[in-house]
Structure 1
């Protein structure tokens, strides 16, 4: 069944001091998305950038999410780091709490938590770590959505525990037969029109073509793309225009869960 409404989420605030990774300005991207995953200082981000990005999201009515990663500025959080589950989860709690306070400062609330990069992929495949993460969320942010893939262990554990979840579809990443994305540290420049077609098909049919050439089912509530993908602004514009043309409403996760209170971002 075709989706009537969908969230668009993007990783934001990914810089440090004077350094910025994304070629697109966060302000331009913020006008096109409905939820922002805001870097929390370990893989990217710093207090002043977190504050500015949260303020920008609040001004645009964009759902605010913490985007905690491994403590890996040099590798941008895309390198797996070994550690005890308790240590890794404590890092997530620390980062999430910092972002939540910036949200409170600007009269907003924490909509979601989405782990970043290699940490996201490790949680997806590591049941013990996912359980520790979900238990920490239930103690510290029980109403916040966890963003994850439908096929991930994170999703299964969160559903079993009663933690709200949002399932993601990756616009700018390839899929394998398992239904998971093919992890990469570097993405070349993609064709915005092809990405828009991929997204519209997924919304219409809940299907996606894999790198092996198969079509597989995909279940999702939110479409993700990355601000550091080359040409991200053109991708965002093409996706949004295609979704609007199809009559698919765009709204933050909090409004997807409460459609009677939704304000469509046309």
Structure 2
């Protein structure tokens, strides 16, 4: 039996602005990456998303971004390793308080957008964030979006990390992602095929037709994809046929 986690970025609405379809997506995932209020989210949305995750038994993680709501955390910012670490600790603390209020806890950290890119490009920034999160809670798991970050994570004493893959975005041959300006409907059968391929064989077909290695134990589905629920339904239909079991991140890193 192959164990795999499905994670989704959530809680990215704020004020009168709505992002994603959290209520309909939550029943299909095992981990929720909840915005920490910098690139998206607000206190009320954080509370509501934590409640929703707790009601469905979904693992809670913080999805910290750079302080840039206008740019949705996707614009480059000049920040030192210490500053980025503080951004993460601040957002982690906010979400942890809401989690504690609802009888649960934060289990993982997955940086967003330009912050993720910064950590991928700079091992010094990545290490600062990882060491900072361990100082808050040594049991936290780092959800690594690419191999650069995953390699740094392996060098940080005491840090548990899980590598993630994507099935609703296309990969280049070098394993970098082709990120669209605006997400569009995806073919549910193709997405489900990719899920099975990564879960069972650790490979996926790149945009140029080349088979590439994606040794992921967690798969990300974008909740703001227009047909995210349809994609998740297709994935769930394939799970039993391929001896795949959905598990949470703590189970994947258990000794």
The TM-score normalised by the length of structure 2 is 0.94
Show CA shifts across 1:225-247 (max 9, x none).
11112211111111122223322
Show CA shifts across 1:202-226 (max 9, x none).
2222111112321111111101011
**CA RMSD in angstroms, aligned pairs only:** 1.6
Tell me the distance in 2 between the aligned counterparts of 1:239 and 1:122: 31
- Residue 158 of structure 1 pairs with residue 153 of structure 2: yes
Tell me the distance in 2 between the aligned counterparts of 1:255 and 1:58: 17
* Count of matched residue pairs: 254
User: Does the Cα contact within 8 Å between 2:199 and 2:217 map onto a contact in 1?
Assistant: no
Tell me the distance in 2 between the aligned counterparts of 1:110 and 1:83: 25
What corresponds to 1:262 in structure 2?
none
What corresponds to 1:144 in structure 2?
140
Alignment of 1:74-223 (within 5 A): 74-152=70-148, 154-161=149-156, 162-223=158-219
How much does 1:182 deviate? 2.8
SS at structure 2 position matched to 1:16: coil
Gaps of 5+ in 1: 260-266
Q: For the structure 1 residues 42 and 61, does the alpha-carbon distance in structure 2 shift closer, same or farther, using more than 3 Å as the test?
A: same
Tell me the distance in 1 between the aligned counterparts of 2:180 and 2:74: 8
What corresponds to 2:23 in structure 1?
27
How much does 1:69 deviate? 0.5
Tell me the distance in 2 between the aligned counterparts of 1:180 and 1:63: 27
How much does 1:192 deviate? 1.4
Gaps of 5+ in 2: none
Tell me the distance in 2 between the aligned counterparts of 1:185 and 1:125: 21
Show CA shifts across 1:173-218 (max 9, x none).
2112222323444222211111111111122221111123211111
Deviates more, 1:103-112 or 1:201-210: 201-210
What corresponds to 1:70 in structure 2?
66
SS at structure 2 position matched to 1:65: strand
What corresponds to 2:231 in structure 1?
235
